[in-house]
Amino acid sequence: MSGIKQYEHTVLRWWQSMFEDSATLKAKGNVPAPTSHKAQLKRCDSADAVMLQEGFRMLWLELLNQGLEDSSQNLEAWATVAAVLVHIKQDNGEKLASQAGKKVNKHGEPAEKSIVSELRFAKLQNAPTPDDFLKRIRRIVLQLDGKASPTKVADDILQWFDEFYAWSPRKADKRISVRWAMDYYQAANQKSSKSKTA
């Protein structure tokens, strides 16, 4: 578990290098990535395509320098992380599922329905393959207008891959799909109760 914070720091710096301005990055001791990196990654439609991009290699080599185990499973998972994070435009500190379940409109005002429909969210939870998972989670990030926590989204993606390739199943309450459901419906219910009392 001690390695989690280390990779989260690397992920955050990589994401910031794509989106933050030069002055902000300089104050953090970071440098901006070439604008082509983000553009190339956004055009990728699969993890395999991401693996061929320089923007991804910058992240992967930094992770390997930290002693991350080099395996095809890890490579695919991290390529998916990169493919999704380049669509997050604003780090609002929110979990993906919590943000998706909120009942607000584009202006942040109370709404009747969650930002992401239950049906679309269920499709993410039941993604049958890594390629489907990439397409579905990226679609949700876009529907959230690119607002979520890059490190929390990365954590979710890595846990999904851990479970997808695991030989032994996790306890039900520890599975990513269950945690997502709890976060999603908790956010939906909180918003609806607030709007009722308003």
Instruction: Give the DSSP per-residue string, the chain.
Output: -HHHHHHHHHHHHHHHHHHS-HHHHHHTT--PPPHHHHHHHHH--SHHHHHTSHHHHHHHHHHHHTT----HHHHHHHHHHHHHHTT--B-----HHHHHH--B-TTS-B-SS-SS-HHHHHHHHT--SHHHHHHHHHHHHHHTTTBS-HHHHHHHHHHHHHHHT-SSPPPGGGSHHHHHHHHHHHHHHHHHHHHHH-
Give residue 71's pLDDT: 66
**Which residue matches tokens 């199943």?**
169
For residues 99-105, average pLDDT: 92
Given pLDDT bands bounded at 50, 70 and 90, which one contains residue 73? confident
Confidence of residue 32 (pLDDT cuts 50, 70, 90): very high
Task: Tell me what the mean pLDDT of segment 137-157 comes to.
Answer: 96
Which has more pLDDT, 72 or 115?
A: 115
Which residue(s) pair with 147 in the sheet? 90
pLDDT band at 5 (very low <50, low <70, confident <90, very high): low
- The listed range with the strongest mean pLDDT (14-18, 60-64, 188-192) is 14-18
102 φ/ψ angles, rounded to the nearest 5 degrees: -60, 140
pLDDT of residue 70: 66
pLDDT at 166: 82
Banded pLDDT at 3 (limits 50, 70, 90): very low
Mean pLDDT of 31-44: 96
Encode burial over 139-154: b for 16+ CB neighbours within 10 A, e otherwise.
ebbeebebebbbbbbb
Residue 22 pLDDT > 50, yes or no?
Answer: yes
Kindly indicate the confidence band of residue 157, based on its pLDDT and cuts at 50, 70 and 90: very high
| pLDDT for res 23 | 95
Mean confidence (pLDDT) of the chain: 89
When pLDDT is averaged across residues 131-157 and rounded to a whole number, the result is: 96
Q: How many Cβ atoms are within 10 Å of 54's Cβ, its own excluded?
A: 12
Better-predicted residue by pLDDT, 194 or 116: 116
Which pLDDT score, from 0 to 100, does residue 198 have?
38
How many CB atoms sit inside 10 A of residue 72's CB? 8
- Read off the pTM: 0.90
